[in-house]
Amino acid sequence: GQNIDQPTEMTATEGAIVQINCTYQTSGFNGLFWYQQHAGEAPTFLSYNVLDGLEEKGRFSSFLSRSKGYSYLLLKELQMKDSASYLCAVRDRGGNYGQNFVFGPGTRLSVLP
């Protein structure tokens, strides 16, 4: 099976930098995704990592270490609109047909003025 862990809640100040961690245990790892979900809305794709290292996309960056089963999402120059839940999701080759996609519990980020 899979186990994905994220902090439940985080708080940061506007303009600051925040790092949201995700640890996972899985067999047949085949990629890790980060999504943002505002309350009452659909999740939106932020980033994808399948190889070790850092992927940068504007104010958002995501890091992966496959040997440690660890990823983080880094948000720079925080804005009030960044207040949302951030979901870590892992894809592996498990499941009934070899395609399994599991979401973590999500981290609710509150950005304060």
Partner 1 sequence: ETGVTQTPRHLVMGMTNKKSLKCEQHLGHNAMYWYKQSAKKPLELMFVYSLEERVENNSVPSRFSPECPNSSHLFLHLHTLQPEDSALYLCASSLTVNTEAFFGQGTRLTVV
Q: Which residues bind partner 1 (CB under 8 A)?
A: 4, 30-31, 33, 41-45, 48, 87, 89, 91, 95-106
Q: Give least dist CB 80 to partner 1, A.
A: 22
Can you state the percent helix, strand and coil of the chain, rounding each to 5? 5, 60, 40
Q: Closest approach of Cβ 73 to partner 1, in Å?
A: 14
User: Smallest distance from the beta carbon of 18 to partner 1, in angstroms?
Assistant: 21
Nearer to partner 1, 62 or 78 (CB): 62
Quote the least distance from Cβ 59 to partner 1, whole Å: 19
Q: Which is nearer to partner 1, 47 or 75 (CB)?
A: 47
Cβ partners under 8 Å of residue 99, min gap 6: 91, 93
- DSSP structural state of residue 13: E
User: Can you tell me the distance from the alpha carbon of 44 to that of 49, in angstroms, rounded to the nearest whole number?
Assistant: 16
Nearer to partner 1, 43 or 69 (CB): 43
Residue 62 near residue 46 (C-beta atoms within 8 A):
yes
